[in-house]
Amino acid sequence: MFTLRKLTQTAVLLAALTPPISAQPSPEKAKMSENPLLQPFKTPHETVPFNLIKNDQYLPALQEAMAMGRKEIDAIVNNPAAPTFENTVVALEHAGQMLNRVSSVLFNLNSAETSPELQKIVREASPLLTEYSNDISLNEKLFKRIKTVYDQRDKLKLDGEDRMLLDKSYKGFARNGANLKDGDKDKFRAINKELSQASLQFGENVLNETNEYMLEVTDEKDLAGLPDFVREAAKSTAKKKGKTGWVFTLQAPSYQPFMQYADNRDLRKKLFIAFSSRGFHNDKNDNQQIIGKLVQLRYDRAKLLGYQTHADFILEESMAGSPEKVKQFLSELVGYSKPVAEKQLAELTNYAREHGFKDERLERWDYNYYSEKLKKEKYALDDEILKPYFKLENVIDGVFTIANKLYGLTFKERKDIPVYNPEVKTYDVFDQNGKFLAVFYGDYFPREGKRSGAWMNDIQGQKIENGVNVRPQIVNVCNFTRPTETKPSLLSFNEVTTLFHEFGHGLHGMLANGKYESLSGTSVYRDFVELPSQVMENWCYDPEALKLFAKHYQTGEVIPNDLIEKIRASQNFMAGLANLTQLRYGLVDMYWHGGAPKGETVEQVESHVDSLVNLFPKVEGVAFSTAFSHIFAGGYSAGYYSYKWSEVLDADAFEFFKEKGLSNREAADKFRKNVLEKGGTEKPMELYKKFRGREPSPQAMLRRSGLTL
């Protein structure tokens, strides 16, 4: 999954007038000159000197960087020369780079290595940055210059990338309130400020809820069914927390295997309800009112800007284009998925009854447990069998090797690049000619200061400046199974596909090759950004690829062919139910954002969607919206459908690789040159057609997912 976005140029449409830094010599000025965030980074590839930065340096650095950004904007606005593409649009693209750098470091850390102190700093910084953004996007003189250039666009000798930057810059202002009347501009400022604060609070509440819960088991009989690797990890967690026995948490590497294997149904239910009620307890971490506030504010902002709904506003800049198209797309997929899901659930229920299940219907906390058993019976396959072949270090080497076969990339680990946590690994990335391409950071284990899930960020985006191709610095962040006292980190197959997914995002960033940072890498439409990540997952099922890295951690034995065939045969196991789950998320997102707020409660909204797609009994006291960080604390509001949309693209794209050969350099070069390198420099459909030779067909996705009876 891809969430956090740095403050790039159009989000340097991020700004507010904060008190100017005094120009007089002072102790504060002297301290500022020593602030490592504001100095040249004297590190390999000018990477962030995390070891030198102290928390109390962020706010002063942000204020100084904003002062620098204001001066750069003033220079554009007050330029006596007539507005041109270079002195206005390109100048704006290059403005605020110091602020981009400082804020990028801060917000990356707030997701991957936060603390109460850092969270407090971000809460203070967020309204300042929002105001800074507003002051740029609502600057009438600046917009007038942009509009002057935009109105002359057909007469200017601009290449395609220049035209895209001009178009994005103009729309960025229009979509951020530049055409509003003065009174409405004040409303727009206030809404953006409230939105930034509410979104931050939502994310903090989810993190708190995740970290504060633990299920302590003291009777070994309650561990029945759990494999040794799960027990050992729980014992290790208990030891770290100063507990006896075994401790299970709401972090994915602990929660998911417990739900899959634990025979104790009451404990499965207990853990499920704890996980599924995060932010839904009417306490200090409750997110219900925050959701209502976010939904209303987003709607109010959209109406202020002349859109019917927040979804209309968001989807204007997407491949789908409109809420109606998205709703139709999701509805069609429900039509394909639901009959298959009903058939699969009936099969699973019959299996459970044959194995002692006595209730009328399976509950949610039964699904993973019985589906894991059925999967093992049908395919003789489960994570206990597979995990020994997926040592984390081997999987990382494997994805690097596949990147080499496809794109000629090589990765060389470095020990001298500063990191924000000792667990983070860093690499130099080189192309097939040995030319430096990027810095890659890998951060793979859960910590209390890291939010759940997996994502890719860039600390430094790619751009060309003063004739120099500034190469990117890319971060992959995951939450995988930790090593124990007796075993290395052994991944579940789901974790393997997650690593490949995030690495696909990483390739989109590492191979970026454009002129402008705001169009570079993953700066694309939301429903296109998942194509590089999701297509990369396909290599996890390829025999040739698996044999590169799936080796038993004790014996070195390459994964046998029969296990590979079982992985491939089980690829669509319970695919209908899995698709309904994804569609449930997408429909809830569109329900929240695709119409006028009706004042409905979280429970009412989810009940409405569940009447369409949920096949399990209703569970009192749970809700997933209150921990749905993708849409309420990340960048996927009115955009969660994009995972399924991109699945259509990736299945169709992968069929091209299969036609040519999965290691075929010609196919890989077409994908690299027309998708990975291009970023947002052209419309996504045009890029896809240049790669594939035609528009995508949904049939490949339906075939691959087994969504036909």
Please identify every residue annotated as catalytic: 502
Max CA separation in the chain (angstroms): 82
Cα–Cα dist 269/305, whole Å: 45
Nearest residue to 18 via CA among 56, 65, 61, 66: 66
CA 486 to chain centroid, in Å, comes to 32
Cα–Cα dist 653/272, whole Å: 37
Using DSSP, state whether 474 is helix, strand or coil: strand
Using DSSP, state whether 658 is helix, strand or coil: helix
640 Ramachandran zone, left/alpha/beta (phi>0; psi -120 to 50): alpha
User: β-pairing, 436-443 with 473-477?
Assistant: parallel
Q: What are phi and psi of 595, to 5 degrees?
A: -155, -175
Cα–Cα dist 228/215, whole Å: 18
Q: Please name the helix (run of DSSP H) or strand (run of DSSP E) that holds residue 306, with its range, or none.
A: none
Nearest residue to 648 via CA among 616, 684, 682: 684
Place of tokens 């040739």: 544
Contact 58, 37 (CB under 8 A): yes
Contact 593, 295 (CB under 8 A): yes
Place of tokens 């209502």: 292
| DSSP assignment letter at 466 | T
Contact 8, 128 (CB under 8 A): no
State the burial class of residue 687 (Cβ atoms within 10 Å of its Cβ: 0-12, 13-18, 19+). Answer: buried
Using DSSP, state whether 459 is helix, strand or coil: strand
Strands in 140-222 per DSSP E:
215-217
Q: 149: which 2 tokens?
A: 């250039």
Cα–Cα dist 680/688, whole Å: 12
Provide CB contacts within 8 A for 393, sequence distance 6+.
488, 489
Characterize 423-434 residue by residue with b for buried, 16 or more Cβ atoms within 10 angstroms of its Cβ, and e for exposed. Answer: ebbbbbbbeeee
State the burial class of residue 315 (Cβ atoms within 10 Å of its Cβ: 0-12, 13-18, 19+). Answer: buried
Got the DSSP string for 586-601?
HHHHHHHHSS------
Strands in 125-274 per DSSP E:
215-217, 246-248
Using DSSP, state whether 320 is helix, strand or coil: coil
Q: How far is CA 111 from CA 5, 125, 449, 457, in A?
A: 11, 15, 8, 10
CA 548 to chain centroid, in Å, comes to 27
Q: How far is CA 365 from CA 64, 216, 346, 619, in A?
A: 52, 18, 16, 10
Q: 303: which 2 tokens?
A: 């109406």
Cα–Cα dist 121/99, whole Å: 15
Q: How far is CA 663 from CA 56, 543, 584, 655, in A?
A: 49, 12, 36, 13
- Measured in Å, how far apart are the chain's first and last C-alpha atoms? 29
Neighbours of 571 (CB within 10 A): 14
Q: 320: which 2 tokens?
A: 């789908």
